[in-house]
Structure 1
């Protein structure tokens, strides 16, 4: 497999085996799905739409997408993650599973009616190349939804400084053995995520605007989701971050147009359509 970081792939395989999302309630699953997909143009898809989930992980998004389309190809370089996705979508007859990296052409060029990749391409060495390889599989005019970690370009300086401190922690935690990594990231979820998220929830109930509070985006989520994201955030060896303008430029460079950004967390989530005239 090309354009992958083996240690990061292994880390995610371990993460999704541990957090297979079985403990996620249907209500929270729908809420999280909407945070990403509320900008996706479902109405533009053809009746028998076929598309792909690049970096499907546990299959948590594929479970929600598959019933809406004719065929969904779930692609992931981790056999462990793909095994979890297979199990979760065992009841689904229109899901296909491919163990492949993004840059290994897992699907024919110009063949797909839609695609999405959420929280994946920033964990790949060459994000622009990975995005281009996704777009190459789309039919002209097809939509592509992507979520990339943001570089706090819409946040105050102190927010970015807090992240820098946390990133120093990540660089140490991600090198730990799997069992130790899980203990430490669970402890971070309990000691940091949970109290700050619940404080933000209280602030919101008291009429405060908590959008800029640390970890306020978790105020409506379960502790299970906090543990999952703590493991993701601190346990992953490779991550990259981008400003909104960088994401826009990258999407345009690889042949997407009509780009629309979500105006709410998580940042940056955006959708664009493959240029009609692109060959």
Structure 2
């Protein structure tokens, strides 16, 4: 269970170092089933931008070296690698890393490491940038995992992170729906491996698709769909819905944080000039390792919690 006294910390007997073995295995299975080859180029680019839209590409040095912590299928590394000199793709799952190697075949500047956040074979303060998208909330001690990531960064290097939000910008009824879905997740995540994707596909077909297409219809009728559940998926493919349903309901360990908690964890990990994206998915945030250049270099240069 989550430790109520330590935001970002999860107690479990099934952890080794700072990783949850069942969750690592679950993601290995997920990426083997959903290797993202069926994701269309246009949709991939749109989703990529929702994460990297706040990333300061222009501040990276030439031939920048950085890391993708929890690279999974390598779907985001595919967009980052052409922009940098070297990209370290890190994942504790051999199965997931195999998918990433396949998807990034021919990408000469991608280097692969089977490792957890605590045993990455990179020197401290050696990296020009880093990112971890949708990963650290699946690690028992999220705050410690974040600090382990930032320890790899050079002073002034940017770090981009996406952590599941706790619906802190949503009304009470919306949070109530999430609580109900959490009960379902607790059941589905315990299912046998072969049955789990059958159930999560059924959830995608009977919950994600109707609500998402209902939000799309509302938008076409002139209504703002932002407050509607799963409106984020209104222009997403059924493949993405299936992938995210498997992620959301099939993963054994999941933690959520509000914006203030994420900002506090980032500051505690040695990041400054923290700014949050104002677009879904929530919360995507970017900060720079303390000891670098002034915030003005980052352009917008927002304060923590912006």
Deviation at 1:105, TM superposition (A): 3.4
Deviation at 1:55, TM superposition (A): 0.1
The equivalent residue for 1:51 is 66
Q: 1:5 is matched with which residue?
A: 20
Superposed CA deviations along residues 131-189 of structure 1, whole A, max 9, x for unmatched, are 00000000000000000000110000011111111111111111111111000000000
Counterpart of 1:231 in structure 2 is: 246
Match of 1:26 in 2: 41
**Secondary structure, counterpart of 1:220 in structure 2:** coil
SS of equivalent residue, structure 1 residue 133: helix
Instruction: List alignment gaps of at least 5 residues for structure 1.
Output: none
- Separation in 2 of the partners of 1:38 and 1:207? 26
The match for 2:286 is 271
- 1:25-84 Cα distance to aligned partner (Å, 9 max, x none): 100100110011100000000011000000000000000000000100000000000000
Q: Write the mapping of 1:1-279 to structure 2, written as runs, cut at 5 A.
A: 2-276=17-291
Describe the SS at the equivalent of 1:93: coil
* CA–CA separation in structure 1 for the residues paired with 2:200 and 2:30: 11
CA RMSD of aligned residues (A): 0.8
TM-score, scaled relative to structure 2: 0.90
- In structure 2, the residue corresponding to 1:176 is in which secondary structure? coil
Deviation at 1:106, TM superposition (A): 2.9
> Residue 69 of structure 2 contacts residue 117 of structure 2 at CA under 8 Å; is this kept in 1?
yes
Q: Give the Å deviation of 1:238.
A: 0.3
Does the 8 Å contact 2:113/2:120 carry over to 1?
Answer: no
Unaligned runs of 5+ in 2: 1-15, 293-306
The alignment of Structure 1 onto Structure 2 pairs a total of residues equal to 277
Separation in structure 1 between the aligned mates of residue 188 and residue 22 of structure 2, nearest angstrom: 13
Q: CA deviation at 1:104?
A: 1.3
Q: Secondary structure at the match of 2:118?
A: helix
Question: What is the rounded CA distance, in whole Å, between the counterparts of 2:174 and 2:121 in structure 1?
Answer: 39
Does the CA-based 8 Å contact 1:113-1:139 persist in structure 2?
yes
TM-score when scaled to structure 1?
0.98
